[in-house]
Structure 1
């Protein structure tokens, strides 16, 4: 945490503030757009923006205790050591609305692993809500409230706080981080541009934003180049930077919002100049970023558009400005007196001669990283780093099915908690395609799922294992407790099959309870038949590589009466097939699936105990 001269504590607003004495007044209400302490979103989301909150400065221990007593309605805890710094204060238990800074933070990188059908992907929704909105999850904990949790998850996904991706063998670094994409330019010519992948897009969205006091610069704000009075210093450029404006010429066109096509001077302009004026007056929006150039190779200033376009009559033009610089935009210049090369963040390209145009290769997140890496500081009083109030989650399904080294590349180091941006040991790399600096924010969370039947945990990429916390998702037969299908105890049915699979293979290849969850709603034998025929048996074939005898052992078919066996075998008459001249040394058997057995209750009872099948016969 950043050191503060005077600590600040956040509470939920309410009538309790009326209990405070004059000595402890001084509450600062926090509205939806007001900045707040870093970490509230993770530790006390009900106090994070846009929720209402109230903050208090805490100059002394006594003030803190009085606030706590007023808020909780209880006598505050006592100090157990007489120290003046509060080191001996006992842990507090108060209302859920108070910031519980001692609450454990969810792991930045975690993998849910287990056999097929254990609900790993299903559980990613709850894991994501634990990060994004723990208060909502805590208020909706019951399995019957799954629909509400899913709706909240979908809402957060729509807001851009969640991305979902599935790894596979063709998934690459270019899909995950960045890569080249072919597209047609305005002249219908094929060109290649660097496009961010799913992880970089999420990291860009999670960057700390700039707060100008009147608006907040979003990570994906558009970036425009503007040339004010050409390159180098000039009185017009100096005036604009000093008075938080951006200006361009061609003032004889009149107001560009009042049908410029009827203006003779405007009609005389070329298409490039008309495009410049259209960009400046119509397409540029409040919140967009302006790069004022120093030269074709360097940036002089960076600002954010704060207002709409206006046309200034010549008689109102400030003295000393170029006479036709009458097209004006309010701009808050955040960085000035720069001479930063543009090529490192613009794919090696310099500025072109056009006065105003969008820099499609840049976004604010990239530019901000570049400015930070060069040690640039905002103009005093112009801007401040806003609080990061929102965590972001990337769900990676089937994480072990991708080539981890190929997909993550150098990012395998950057995702470490100790290497995240803002940490003491933070690292930054230059990306290979865009040549831009990049680091991973500490409010980006990775949740992976891993099917242990595809690849065991011990066979996983070691570099990945060291950087993730692993949460086992074993089969939970107890979830099937009470489900009885025509006298078949489904919980026991799964338990017995898994005991046999673990004995014949290993625990990573057990069957998950999720296969049988539909029986909660539909307890007909036909539904159980469908599960066994279309899910259980094909999975066993895959597990045992079509070793039908072992599949028989799992299903206990070898001890059941013939008619109740799911898998049967019969001898092969090799003499009839090959003749007496061919000597087949082994005794081959032909295996086949007994369709009739799937419709018999005794077939399933016999999986649990073969005597049950005999008794029911």
Structure 2
């Protein structure tokens, strides 16, 4: 595991298996023993091995050990780290939006990586636990109700006039304000079993920390010495009681308010746990810190170079360095701009990016990103197509797909550069179905459109890649000129010096395996091959 880089980018031309390789790369980090076991199982063929690896990858993704995103031009810091989002509470007539700070995919993964899963199980805290603020009785009033709740592992609120909240009748009662309805909804439904509740003790302090341990109930007969109107009850396992702990910094320097119950969007359980332990507060029922290493987490960023990296990562680009990670010798933390919380990147968070070299060369990539990532080049691999041959028994023509790919890439590299080669992944369907029809579909729908993009519709150079300018007279070329000559159009002494750019794709070429065979070399098809006459398809308006 130590040998696997924390930050790596797989780069290469399109179709070289970068996204495909993510499964293996992620399992090298998250479950290397399983990866080794499957790869060494000689009873499994290649397809069966891939199926098992992908299944394990999906399981880890379901467990939220893997997060996946794709960068694009509109992707922002607010999507990646945190931003302000408008939300509407689930209470019935709550149509007014609340603006809350929402964590992005990277911040969520970092919070998950900080989780002590073993301890959470002991305490009954669920993954992705929300944190809620609860007021039990008046702060300046008697503490009998609060003390009773602490000693009996429950939390209580009033509003006996709302009746049994499970009926939801209160939602249609105009006597209750939207704030009151939201608070009652949060108490009875919003807080899930395994969520964290913090008991209010002032505008910045809490007096207790608990975990919701059961469903809501209405209790008409209230025990002594509880206030008689406190009929709404939820079971809670109190982990800390009678403390004086400020959550103001964790809450982005925002004061708590006296609303009975609401979600604290800025506070997460892992960060709260860290802050409590730093102040010497040991959670009731929590065992000593486990010697088991923290579980690794993986963030996959597809097309990482298509986004504005400086804008997306912001100040966190520095924190990606191994020496700047939390717990490292030169660990750094930053204060996030919206939540005002301290933030650092855990050492068990791995980033795997992919980038297409045709979108942007490495030389143009953000220098700060390049310094903090290990780059692994994935180039076309003709060996992956070794033994794949498309044959036509009737004509005796055959096409070696590995050679076809190699020859085309040699020409592309000579005419353009190595970063625009064709990947082997385009031709992988032929491993299962090596037919002319499948080969034609690949050329028609993927290879030719890609070559058009590469060469900016310079059809003469596309024809060179396909060897069309040298094909035998009876072998249909993929690309050919069409229309009458310039002399016919403008006269013998027309004086027109423009280059004739009228080219068209010849549909007959897709029907002839010989057209594919002569991409590799001329004279590779039988001399007696008879190809019926054909009319070229016109490009554009055909004039």
TM bracket (short chain): 0.7 to 0.9
In structure 2, what is the Cα distance between the partners aligned to 1:614 and 1:287?
74
Instruction: State whether residues 603 and 613 of structure 1, in contact with CA within 8 Å, keep that contact through their aligned partners in structure 2.
Output: no
Q: Where does structure 1 lack aligned partners over 5 or more consecutive residues?
A: 1-102, 262-266
Deviation readout 1:334-359 (Å, 9 max, x if unpaired) = 476334153x4446643332333333
Match of 2:60 in 1: 156
Instruction: State whether residues 116 and 294 of structure 2, in contact with CA within 8 Å, keep that contact through their aligned partners in structure 1.
Output: no
Match of 1:224 in 2: 132
Match of 1:46 in 2: none
Q: Let me know the Cα RMSD of the aligned residues.
A: 3.7
TM-score computed with the length of structure 2 as normaliser:
0.80
1:434 aligns with 2:342: no
- Name the SS for the 2:129 alignment partner: coil
Instruction: State whether residues 117 and 514 of structure 1, in contact with CA within 8 Å, keep that contact through their aligned partners in structure 2.
Output: yes
Residue 415 of structure 1 and its aligned partner are, at CA, apart by: 2.0
Label 1:172 to 1:114 Cα distance change in 2 as closer, same or farther (>3 A).
same
Residue 216 of structure 1 and its aligned partner are, at CA, apart by: 4.4
Match of 1:109 in 2: 7
Instruction: State whether residues 414 and 439 of structure 1, in contact with CA within 8 Å, keep that contact through their aligned partners in structure 2.
Output: yes
Match of 2:210 in 1: 303
Deviation readout 1:131-172 (Å, 9 max, x if unpaired) = 222222222225232112222222222222222211111211
Equivalent residue pairs, number: 504
Match of 2:51 in 1: 147
In structure 2, what is the Cα distance between the partners aligned to 1:298 and 1:380?
17
Label 1:489 to 1:284 Cα distance change in 2 as closer, same or farther (>3 A).
closer
- Name the SS for the 2:84 alignment partner: strand
Residue 294 of structure 1 and its aligned partner are, at CA, apart by: 2.4
Label 1:184 to 1:583 Cα distance change in 2 as closer, same or farther (>3 A).
farther
In structure 2, what is the Cα distance between the partners aligned to 1:604 and 1:229?
82
1:188 aligns with 2:95: yes
Residue 477 of structure 1 and its aligned partner are, at CA, apart by: 0.6
Label 1:579 to 1:205 Cα distance change in 2 as closer, same or farther (>3 A).
same
In structure 1, what is the Cα distance between the partners aligned to 2:318 and 2:112?
20
1:517 aligns with 2:425: no
- Name the SS for the 1:127 alignment partner: helix
Instruction: State whether residues 149 and 155 of structure 2, in contact with CA within 8 Å, keep that contact through their aligned partners in structure 1.
Output: no
Question: In terms of mean alpha carbon deviation, does 309-318 or 288-297 score higher?
Answer: 309-318
Deviation readout 1:301-359 (Å, 9 max, x if unpaired) = 433345667899999747xx7787786744333476334153x4446643332333333
Q: Aligned to 1:507, which of 418, 421, 426?
A: 418
Instruction: State whether residues 566 and 597 of structure 1, in contact with CA within 8 Å, keep that contact through their aligned partners in structure 2.
Output: yes
In structure 2, what is the Cα distance between the partners aligned to 1:258 and 1:433?
36
Instruction: State whether residues 166 and 188 of structure 2, in contact with CA within 8 Å, keep that contact through their aligned partners in structure 1.
Output: no
Residue 127 of structure 1 and its aligned partner are, at CA, apart by: 1.5
Match of 2:23 in 1: 125
In structure 2, what is the Cα distance between the partners aligned to 1:254 and 1:516?
66
In structure 1, what is the Cα distance between the partners aligned to 2:444 and 2:182?
65
Higher RCO structure (Cα 8 Å, ≥6 apart):
2
Question: In terms of mean alpha carbon deviation, does 239-248 or 333-342 score higher?
Answer: 239-248
Instruction: State whether residues 112 and 472 of structure 1, in contact with CA within 8 Å, keep that contact through their aligned partners in structure 2.
Output: yes
Match of 1:603 in 2: 515
Match of 1:378 in 2: 281
In structure 1, what is the Cα distance between the partners aligned to 2:182 and 2:500?
81
Question: In terms of mean alpha carbon deviation, does 329-338 or 148-157 score higher?
Answer: 329-338
In structure 2, what is the Cα distance between the partners aligned to 1:206 and 1:578?
73
In structure 2, what is the Cα distance between the partners aligned to 1:567 and 1:282?
66
Label 1:613 to 1:545 Cα distance change in 2 as closer, same or farther (>3 A).
farther
- Name the SS for the 1:157 alignment partner: helix
Q: Aligned to 1:165, which of 56, 69, 75?
A: 69
How do 1:61-100 and structure 2 match up within 5 A? none
Q: Where does structure 2 lack aligned partners over 5 or more consecutive residues?
A: 40-44, 392-397, 530-543
1:478 aligns with 2:386: no
- Name the SS for the 2:114 alignment partner: coil
In structure 2, what is the Cα distance between the partners aligned to 1:400 and 1:256?
55
Match of 1:359 in 2: 264
Q: Aligned to 1:552, which of 441, 450, 463?
A: 463
Label 1:521 to 1:285 Cα distance change in 2 as closer, same or farther (>3 A).
closer
TM-score computed with the length of structure 1 as normaliser:
0.71
Instruction: State whether residues 239 and 284 of structure 2, in contact with CA within 8 Å, keep that contact through their aligned partners in structure 1.
Output: no
Match of 1:288 in 2: 195
Instruction: State whether residues 494 and 511 of structure 1, in contact with CA within 8 Å, keep that contact through their aligned partners in structure 2.
Output: yes
Instruction: State whether residues 312 and 328 of structure 1, in contact with CA within 8 Å, keep that contact through their aligned partners in structure 2.
Output: no
1:567 aligns with 2:476: no
Residue 416 of structure 1 and its aligned partner are, at CA, apart by: 2.0
- Name the SS for the 1:471 alignment partner: strand
